[in-house]
C-alpha cells in the first residue's frame, strides 16, 4: 500500500504528543502518541530539548508501528507533513543553533510586567504568555543571553526548523508571538518599530525583530522540505525519505479551529482539556482593547478573538483520582473512562444552580478572574444541597466559568454574535453532558463532531491536505466542500437550566474574593 496521497499531522500538546495519518478526504488511517510532561525547573515551566526530540521520535515511531500493524507495510513516504504545538512561550537560539535558555512555555506567568507595559505601548492586548512579552521581560531583567539571540521561535517553529532548516511560522502561530497585520499577513511593522525604539531595548538588544523572528506564511504556502538530517531525526531507522514537503507550522489555536471547521466569521470553537479556550472568527477587529481577550488569526490570516483560560479539567481529574481510590478500596475495578462517565452523568441529576455549591478550579493562576496563584476550592453554605450530583455539576460549571466571563465581554461590550460553537477535547467525551452546560454558558448551539477525539493533530493534517489539494480555493471553501460535507456530529441547544447557571455565576463572581484571600494566607 502506498501513502503518497496521504498526509501526517503532528501536535505537541501539554501532556501528549499525537500524530495522525489521513487520506485525501481527511479520514484517519493511522495514529501515534507519546505521553510527556512539563518540568518545573528553577521557577520555570519547561520541556528540555531532549524531551522535544525524544518525544518527536517516539510519537512518529508509534505512528509507524500502527501503519505496519494495520497495513503490513513500512512507512517511507507521504504527500505532506504538518507540525503544530502549544502556542506562545520563549524559545531563542544563537547563531550556532544552541538553545540559549530553557524553553519557557505558555504556562509561565513571569512576564506579566512586560505584558502590561507592551499592552499600553501598543494599544493592543499582549498576554504574559506571548513570545514578545517573554522577550521584553528578559530584556528588562538584563538577562545575559539577550545579546546572543539570532532566532526566536515557538515550539512548533523549532520542530519545523529541525526538520526543514526553514525559519518560518504559520500566521496564527505568529499572532501569538507578536501582533500581526491582517492585510499584509505579516508581523505588524509599526508596532515592531515602537518596540525597537524603547530605551531598554535599544540599549540591550543588538537586533531587529525582523532579523530574529521567523518568516510568516499563510495556509497553503510551501514551508520547506524534509531534509536528510530532518528525516533521520524524525525516523532514526532511516526508512523515511527526504524531500517530503511541509506546510506552515501552526499553533494549537489554528488546529482547533480547523478541526472543528470554525474558520468563518461568527463561528466559535471551544477546546477543553488542561486549559480551555474559545476562538471566535471575526469579519473585523474589535473596537476596544480588552486585557481578557487575545487577538489572533485564522490560518488564512482573518482576525480571531480568543478567550484563553489556564484552568479547565485539572481539578476534575484530581477529584476523579480521589473517587478512583475510594472505588479501589471498595474492591471495584472500574476503569477511568467508566468512572468519568458515571460522575458526569450523575451531574445531570443535580440542581440547575448546583444546589448553591460553588467550585473553583484554579490549579494555577487565572488572569481573567484576577487570580495570581492556584488555590482550588469548594465552598458551600450550611443549607446548600450537598450531593454528589450537585458537587459534580459544580465542578463542570467551574471548568467553563472563566470562559463564560470572557465571552460576556464579547457579547455585551463588542456586540459580537456567536452563531454556533463546535467543541472538542476531553471534557466532552461523555456525550451531551459538558456539551449541554457549555450551550447554556455561551447561549448558542454547541456541536461535538464525531471526529472530536482526533484533536489538533487531525486539524494539522487537514492543513497539510489543504496545502496539497487546496488548488487556490479559500480554506473555508476547502473545509466545507472536501472535509466536513459528509461528517456528522451531535448538536445541543441552550435549555431551561441556563437560568440556573446564571445564578451559579453570580455566586461564583462574589466568591472570587475568597479565592484571592486563600492565595494570600495559604
| pLDDT 10s digits, 161-219 | 999 999 999 999 999 999 999 889 999 999 999 999 999 999 999 999 999 999 999 99
On whether the CB atoms of residues 250 and 173 are closer than 8 A, the answer is: yes
pLDDT number for residue 233:
98
Cα 95 from Cα 79, distance rounded (Å): 32
pLDDT, tens digit (0-9, with 9 covering 90-100), for 370-386: 898 899 999 999 999 99
On whether the CB atoms of residues 456 and 419 are closer than 8 A, the answer is: no
pLDDT number for residue 149:
98
Cα 168 from Cα 153, distance rounded (Å): 9
Cα 292 from Cα 283, distance rounded (Å): 20
pLDDT number for residue 453:
54
Say whether 261-311+406-492 and 88-153+179-212 share the same fold. yes
pLDDT number for residue 260:
86
b (16+ CB within 10 A) / e for 486-504? eeebeebebeebbebbeeb
Say whether pLDDT at 442 is over 80: yes
Per DSSP, helices labelled H in 369-425 are 388-413
Architecture (CATH level 2) of domain 88-153+179-212? 2-Layer Sandwich (3.30)
Percent of the chain clearing pLDDT 70 (strictly above): 99
pLDDT number for residue 488:
79
The full set of domain ranges for the chain reads 88-153+179-212, 261-311+406-492, 314-400+496-521
Residue 454 binned pLDDT confidence (cut-offs 50, 70, 90): low
Alpha-carbon separation of residue 38 from 59, 279, 365 (angstroms): 16, 25, 17
pLDDT, tens digit (0-9, with 9 covering 90-100), for 27-75: 999 999 999 999 999 989 999 999 999 999 999 999 999 999 999 999 9
Give the residue from 384, 394, 313 showing the smallest Cα distance to 14: 313
On whether the CB atoms of residues 177 and 130 are closer than 8 A, the answer is: yes
pLDDT number for residue 20:
97
pLDDT number for residue 177:
98
More confident residue, 304 or 425: 304
Alpha-carbon separation of residue 52 from 13, 61, 373, 427, 461 (angstroms): 11, 14, 28, 26, 20
Across 84-88, 98-102, 276-280, least confident range: 276-280
- Which triple of cell numbers denotes residue 506? 453570580
Whole-model pTM above 0.75?
yes
Percent of the chain clearing pLDDT 90 (strictly above): 81
pLDDT number for residue 512:
97
Angle at 130 between CA 124 and CA 136, to 5 degrees: 85
Cα 137 from Cα 135, distance rounded (Å): 5
Say whether pLDDT at 367 is over 90: no
pLDDT number for residue 192:
97
Residue 451 binned pLDDT confidence (cut-offs 50, 70, 90): low
Which strand (E) or helix (H) includes residue 4? none
Cα 185 from Cα 507, distance rounded (Å): 43
On whether the CB atoms of residues 339 and 320 are closer than 8 A, the answer is: yes
pLDDT, tens digit (0-9, with 9 covering 90-100), for 403-417: 999 998 898 899 988
More confident residue, 5 or 109: 5
Say whether pLDDT at 481 is over 80: yes
b (16+ CB within 10 A) / e for 320-351? beebbeeeeeeeeeeeeeebbbebbebbeebb
Chain mean pLDDT for the chain: 94
pLDDT, tens digit (0-9, with 9 covering 90-100), for 217-255: 999 999 999 999 999 999 999 999 999 999 999 999 899
SS (H, E, C) 101-166: CCCECCCCCCCHHHHHHHHHHHCCCCCCCCHHHHHHHHHHCCCHHHHHCCEEECHHHHHHHHHHCC
Residue 302 binned pLDDT confidence (cut-offs 50, 70, 90): confident
Q: What is the end-to-end Cα distance of the chain in Å, rounded? A: 60
pLDDT number for residue 309:
92
- Which triple of cell numbers denotes residue 267? 463561528
User: What mean pLDDT do residues 4-29 have?
Assistant: 95
Say whether pLDDT at 78 is over 60: yes
306 forms beta bridges with 279, 294
Give burial (CB, 10 Å; 0-12/13-18/19+) of 517.
exposed
Q: Beta strands 168-170 and 215-217: pairing type? A: parallel
Architecture (CATH level 2) of domain 261-311+406-492? 2-Layer Sandwich (3.30)
295 forms beta bridges with 305
pLDDT number for residue 284:
83
Say whether pLDDT at 458 is over 90: yes
pLDDT number for residue 109:
79
More confident residue, 1 or 441: 441
Amino acid at each position: 500500500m502506498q501513502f503518497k496521497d496521504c498526509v501526517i499531522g503532528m501536535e505537541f500538546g501539554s501532556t501528549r504528543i499525537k500524530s495522525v495519518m489521513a487520506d485525501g478526504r481527511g479520514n484517519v488511517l493511522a495514529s501515534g502518541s507519546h505521553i510527556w510532561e512539563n518540568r518545573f525547573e528553577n521557577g520555570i515551566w519547561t520541556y528540555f530539548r531532549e524531551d522535544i526530540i525524544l518525544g518527536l521520535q517516539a510519537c512518529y515511531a508509534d505512528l509507524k508501528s500502527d501503519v505496519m500493524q494495520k497495513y503490513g507495510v513500512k512507512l517511507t513516504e507521504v504527500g505532506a507533513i504538518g507540525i503544530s504545538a502549544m502556542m506562545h512561550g520563549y524559545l531563542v537560539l544563537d547563531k550556532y543553533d544552541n538553545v540559549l535558555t530553557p524553553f519557557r512555555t505558555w504556562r509561565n506567568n513571569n512576564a506579566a510586567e512586560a505584558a502590561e507595559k507592551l499592552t499600553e505601548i501598543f494599544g493592543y492586548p499582549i498576554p504574559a504568555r506571548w513570545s514578545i512579552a517573554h522577550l521584553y521581560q528578559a530584556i528588562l531583567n538584563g538577562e545575559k543571553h539577550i545579546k546572543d539571540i539570532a532566532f526566536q521561535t515557538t515550539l512548533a517553529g523549532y520542530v519545523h526548523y529541525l526538520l526543514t532548516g526553514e525559519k518560518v511560522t504559520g500566521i496564527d502561530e505568529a499572532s501569538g508571538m507578536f501582533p500581526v497585520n491582517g492585510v499584509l499577513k505579516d508581523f505588524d511593522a509599526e508596532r515592531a518599530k515602537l518596540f525597537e525604539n524603547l530605551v531598554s531595548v535599544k540599549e540591550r538588544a543588538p537586533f531587529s525583530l525582523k532579523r530574529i523572528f521567523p518568516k510568516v506564511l499563510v495556509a497553503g504556502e510551501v514551508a520547506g522540505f524534509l531534509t536528510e538530517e530532518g528525516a533521520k531525526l524524525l525516523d532514526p531507522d532511516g526508512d523515511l525519505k527526504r524531500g517530503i514537503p511541509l506546510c506552515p507550522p501552526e499553533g494549537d489555536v489554528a488546529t482547533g479551529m480547523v478541526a472543528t471547521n470554525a474558520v468563518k466569521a461568527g463561528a466559535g470553537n471551544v477546546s477543553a482539556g488542561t486549559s480551555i479556550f474559545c476562538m471566535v472568527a471575526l469579519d473585523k477587529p474589535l473596537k476596544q482593547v480588552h486585557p481578557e481577550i487575545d487577538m489572533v488569526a485564522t490560518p488564512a490570516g482573518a482576525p480571531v478573538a480568543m478567550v484563553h483560560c489556564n484552568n479547565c479539567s485539572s481539578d476534575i481529574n484530581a477529584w476523579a483520582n480521589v473517587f478512583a481510590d475510594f472505588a479501589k478500596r471498595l474492591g471495584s475495578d472500574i476503569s477511568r473512562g467508566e468512572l468519568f462517565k458515571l460522575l458526569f452523568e450523575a451531574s445531570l441529576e443535580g440542581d440547575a444552580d448546583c444546589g448553591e455549591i460553588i467550585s473553583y478550579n484554579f490549579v494555577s493562576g487565572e488572569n481573567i478572574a484576577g487570580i495570581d496563584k492556584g488555590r482550588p476550592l469548594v465552598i458551600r453554605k450550611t443549607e446548600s444541597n450537598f450531593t454528589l450530583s450537585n458537587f459534580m455539576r459544580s465542578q463542570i460549571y467551574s471548568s467553563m466559568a472563566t470562559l463564560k466571563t470572557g465571552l460576556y465581554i464579547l457579547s455585551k461590550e463588542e456586540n459580537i454574535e456567536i452563531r454556533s460553537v463546535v467543541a472538542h477535547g476531553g471534557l466532552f467525551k461523555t456525550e451531551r453532558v459538558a456539551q449541554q452546560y457549555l450551550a447554556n454558558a455561551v447561549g448558542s448551539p454547541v456541536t461535538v463532531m464525531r471526529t472530536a477525539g482526533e484533536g489538533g493533530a487531525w486539524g494539522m493534517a487537514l492543513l497539510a491536505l489543504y496545502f496539497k489539494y487546496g488548488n487556490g480555493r479559500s480554506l473555508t471553501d476547502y473545509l466545507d466542500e472536501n472535509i466536513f460535507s459528509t461528517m456528522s456530529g451531535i448538536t445541543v441547544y441552550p435549555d431551561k437550566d441556563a437560568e440556573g447557571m446564571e445564578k451559579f455565576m453570580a455566586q461564583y463572581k462574589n466568591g472570587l474574593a475568597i479565592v484571592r484571600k486563600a492565595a494570600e494566607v495559604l
